[in-house]
Structure 1
Amino acid sequence: MILHEKKNIIFDLGNVVVDIDLNITMERFRKLGFKKEGDFLNKYQQIGIFNDFEEGRVSAGEFVEGLKAYMKAGVTDEEIIEAWNVIIGDYKEDRIETILKLKETHGVYLLSNTNELHVEVCENKVPLVGSLNKLFNKTYYSHEMGMSKPNRNIFEALLKDAGIKAEETLFLDDSKANVEAARKLGIESWLVEYPDQWVPRMKALIKER
């Protein structure tokens, strides 16, 4: 791929822009008595109340109350929220610098399956620029859009809202299902198998332009 052939780049958030570790949250949940996390959560898909939260059908308060039904008596809201948010790791400056460099010549967008609690943690801790809203031309979150990847409607909604064309766009995501869904719409896509994988590849393309 030649970078100047694309006008726009869409980034996933977790394990593409920011580190996440679902295993830490699962371990914290188990300590709170939650024994069925495998029925609801995996690295790429969420089910039941977790999916409802991710698509904005329940509020943060309703989500926390719903989880209490699966946990031992006496667990507090604060314990649940802390366990849920510990999944969020760090931003690496090299990734942020690369996105900023791309932003000089391309539209850069964020498309994330996420929820209001995680956005509160992620939004304003970005190195160099301070916030995701300043890093990207626009951010798109599943809980605000009422839909999630890999459903094609979320990609179509972004393309329409941003006024961009699929064939002029590159998409980066750590989920094979999401990447395949984007490709079916004519969006060239990279599967990111570990968070820093895409950075040297993108830097090489930047040098070639």
Structure 2
Amino acid sequence: MIRNVIFDIGNVLVSFHPVEYFYPVFKEKTETLCTYVFGSKEWALYDQGILTKEEVEKNLLDTYPKDKDAILYILTHWKEFMKPIMPMKKLIEVLKEKGYKIFLLSNISEDSYLYLKREYPYFFDVDGGMYSYRIKSNKPDKKIYEELLSVYGINASESLFLDDRKENVDAAKALGFHGMIMEDVDVTCDRIRKRLKEE
């Protein structure tokens, strides 16, 4: 029986579409620039709390000096494209009313966490959360999942995990979680309601 529902943050609770957001500024070069930043090992280490934003900036500028102005622009404005996915807010409210425990499990830097908690505090009014920057581990590494289970004393077999990346859902399933991949938001909300109704 599922007692806990666990949500990723990026592209589950808030949008994370940098290419779409920055395209009006950089046009055809947008995808390349966003890969430089958000697809970099530096960004992964930033999420893990191992590198600071300043260190990420320095490393990226050393690597891509010809794109200095564009990278600085992205690093200055990137938080602006994270907007709340409101149907998920409503879903969480309904699940709380029905007695489910709600947790967050996200690869996220401390800067992002503090920004989102300030801008959209309702998403953090939950029973707990595990964030990569706190434990220096990113999904799909099993450490972050196991830490969530240990800290909050919950069972994987009683937990449904929702993430937008298949590899993260697969890692959760390997540890005994129920898993679901975030797709179209309305379809996903309906799937979750149906899945829990079958319990």
Change (3 A) 1:7 1:74: closer
Change (3 A) 1:161 1:78: same
The equivalent residue for 1:58 is 51
Shift of residue 204 of structure 1? 4.1
Shift of residue 71 of structure 1? 4.4
2:174 counterpart letter in structure 1: K
Superposition pairs of residues 16-165 of structure 1, within 5 angstroms: 16-24=12-20, 27=23, 37-38=34-35, 41=38, 46-69=39-62, 70-72=64-66, 75=69, 79-92=73-86, 94-104=87-97, 105-126=99-120, 130-134=121-125, 136-165=126-155
Shift of residue 82 of structure 1? 2.9
The answer to whether 1:11 aligns with 2:2 is no
State percent identity of aligned pairs.
Answer: 28
SS in 2 for 1:171: strand
Superposition pairs of residues 186-201 of structure 1, within 5 angstroms: 186-201=176-191
Partner deviation per Cα, 1:162-194 (whole Å, 9 max, x = no partner): 100111111111111011111111101011123
Structure 1 gap segments, 5+ residues each: none
Q: Distance in 2 between matches of 1:145 and 1:52?
A: 12
| Number of residue pairs matched by the alignment | 195
Partner deviation per Cα, 1:106-130 (whole Å, 9 max, x = no partner): 111001111123223322233xxx3
Change (3 A) 1:73 1:22: closer
Change (3 A) 1:191 1:80: closer
Change (3 A) 1:156 1:76: same
Shifted more, 197-206 versus 112-121: the winner is 197-206
Q: Distance in 1 between matches of 2:195 and 2:171?
A: 24
Query: Under a length normalisation based on structure 2, what TM-score does the superposition of the two structures give?
Result: 0.82
The equivalent residue for 2:160 is 170
Q: Distance in 2 between matches of 1:177 and 1:157?
A: 18
> Does the CA-based 8 Å contact 2:173-2:179 persist in structure 1?
yes
Higher helix share: 2
2:105 counterpart letter in structure 1: L
